[in-house]
Structure 1
């Protein structure tokens, strides 16, 4: 029906209006597709086709209490004054109704599906758009690399306040531009060298899959100057395939930092998308993560890079050694 409406509107050079409550993630509804298309435009991954997306949503941390609802509901309903606050409040307080349903229906919040690790409420509350990563800041790095279909990402976490920043994200473009696309490895290599040149990198954990030769070169160049070493054969390489236990424990530590609101981020939309795409995967050691399916186009590589940067920071705080900075000067006696 949506495609027919769009086709008819195009023939008549007309416009159409779509009105709905917040969609349920994972249903692949038209509303979900519209939201994702709008976010692609904001990220610069899709052309601005001229549609307006307007959504008044309650703050992610809004509690479902009578006091808060009497303040928030009139703001969310806007000019829909026929919606009575006290009647809606009765529905929200009805214990037979899931809180997630109340948040979608009455607060217009996009609530995560049951298998998702996080919803917008858990992630967006960590956003601080005033955060900036300045030259010379002390950081840890995390890297997850792909080749063609999977994305490649380099993430930094500042050691002083656990603030996360995306230093680079390379992923296959949508549509015809993605035909035959491959990760620009020279650009990725340059981004890593730039990170070491601009910032004070204390630790660097990189998943070795598909990037073994580059990681060996990075280790040879920078490994000796790092304050903590990865649990692999060199200072940087972290093989996420070799130890399910280590990866699961690292992921649970990241989850705890998110839920305890210790981690912060600057609101990067790409990191947000990858994080909200991450699905819960349980194993014998705890809770890991993955894509919604093996062939899913919804990537999680930036979240994987964040996990490695976060784990590097955890290890730095637990067992990091003091590294003497090289001055470039020599002394002769």
Structure 2
């Protein structure tokens, strides 16, 4: 092939260099044809008979814009289950769009990794869903070859170490162990104190499992409770939830239909996922947030807004002054009330009482739900089960979940409205019935 171009994308430059790109660099440098290549930490150039560049492979990380217009012959995506941030998804979209530019060179993409977290919206999950739909006959895609090996035997008792070894062997395939005792060592990880079983199932058994610190069961939410494109109608009787931070994270406004339980993300302001933005002074535009709240107050019949005030104290206060009967401070830092509120929200998901709609914002809404982590408390509920509250998964600052918290507050307000027998306000000018 003349002048092949092979971009290799991973979460970080360090990961690219250590995994697929690093392996390729070692092979060309240590192989019998090392004189045919000029390699550095960020690109490997193939040389022709005259010593001139005749194609290259490059290490990429989260920078799609610079690759617009590339005439790609092969894309390589390393650990695609870790590619889920907006900039990473954009990079994948840009790279995929470049493939048809050289049809005579039979361009293609290679994805290498393990199962990810359900509902996180990663590149791996997109491919997995597509392959599942192909297998079910829902779509046709003759150019997708999907090799997915796992152990999903529902009768497998993972509390038994021998069973775990069999499961690991099945998921690994006929290649077997790379060294004596490898499977036994892997199976022993389940026995360590504090071991995250769902995580181990993902990385060693290739099962799509909710991680132990993931707050919500995304297999129930997506696709079962998702109603992409469905909107709360104008004038609908709703409650609102508001949560967020001004500077380092995100802020969100969520509505819930009191009649149907449909939730919709009305506003989301996220700090850009840019590695260059550290102390840039970025801040949520307060005027935009207030405008979104005002629009919701006029577009819908709002019973209450429950707003978590710590980072928006003065702003929430001004809203309460303008709409004294509709805006209420709801402090999520109150551990026990928050834990019971979260339990009510999960019960709604389990029963299907709540659904998730929205048009352009739907995917962001689901992403935030998948990002939410849980922190188990040292207190139990009335059934003796441990309570928990929301937090970032593994302390990951890039996993924003403010829309999830806002949706929990909105649902709490919805339940309170139903319990109180709330009714939408009578439209101005509507005659009263005289008995």
TM-score category, normalised to shorter length = 0.7 to 0.9
CA contact 1:2–1:30 (8 Å) conserved in 2: no
- For residues 327 and 40 of structure 1, do their structure 2 counterparts lie closer, same or farther at Cα, with a shift above 3 Å needed? same
Alignment partner, residue 92 of structure 1 = 153
Whether contact under 8 Å (2:87, 2:273) holds in the other structure is no
What is the deviation of 1:31?
1.8
Of the candidates 330, 334, 337, which is equivalent to residue 238 of structure 1? Answer: 330
The SS at the match of 2:314 is helix
Go from structure 1 to structure 2 and tell me whether the alpha carbon gap of 1:47 and 1:93 turns closer, same or farther (over 3 Å shift).
closer
Q: 1:193 aligns to what SS in structure 2?
A: helix
- Measured in 2, the distance between the counterparts of 1:265 and 1:104 equals 26
1:275-311 C-alpha deviation (Å, 9 max, x unpaired)? 1111121111412221124462211111000000000
2:129 to 57, 61, 69: 57
The structure, 1 or 2, with the larger RCO (C-alpha pairs under 8 Å, 6+ apart) is 1
Q: Give the 3-state SS of the residue equivalent to 1:149 in structure 2.
A: coil
In structure 2, the CA distance between the partners of 1:303 and 1:74, relative to structure 1 (3 Å rule), is: closer
Q: Secondary structure at the match of 2:324?
A: helix
Residues 213, 394 of structure 2: 8 Å contact kept? no
- 2:220 aligns with 122
Residues 95-126 of structure 1, C-alpha deviations (whole Å, 9 max, x = no match): 1449979x979xx8743212212343122121
**Count of residue pairs brought into register by the alignment:** 293
1:261 aligns with 2:261: no
Q: Which residue of 2 aligns with 1:133?
A: 232
**Structure 1 residue 239, shift from structure 2 partner:** 1.4
Cα shift at 1:269: 1.2
Q: Is the 8 A contact 1:58 1:76 kept in 2?
A: no
CA–CA separation in structure 2 for the residues paired with 1:187 and 1:220: 18
**Structure having the larger proportion of residues in strand:** 2
Q: TM-score, normalised by structure 2?
A: 0.57
Q: Which has the larger radius of gyration?
A: 2
Rate the CA distance shift 1:30–1:324 in 2: closer, same or farther, 3 A.
closer
* Aligned residue in 1 for 2:368: 274
Match of 2:74 among 10, 13, 16: 16
CA distance in 2, matches of 1:196, 1:59: 43
Q: C-alpha distance in 2, partners of 1:263/1:51? A: 35
TM-score, normalised by the number of residues in structure 1:
0.73
Q: Which moved more, 1:157-166 or 1:280-289?
A: 280-289
User: Gapped runs of 5+ residues in structure 2?
Assistant: 1-14, 25-41, 45-56, 60-69, 98-122, 157-162, 169-196, 381-386, 431-435
- 1:150 aligns to what? 249
Match of 1:307 in 2: 408
Task: Indicate how the Cα distance of structure 1 residues 172 and 261 shifts in structure 2: closer, same or farther if over 3 A, else same.
Answer: same
Instruction: Give per-residue Cα distances to partners, 1:170-229, cap 9 Å, x unaligned.
Output: 0101224673210101100110011001111111100011211111121122122x4xxx
Aligned partner of 1:34 in structure 2 is 83
Partner of 2:43: 7
Q: CA RMSD in A?
A: 4.1
Give the 3-state SS of the residue equivalent to 1:140 in structure 2: strand
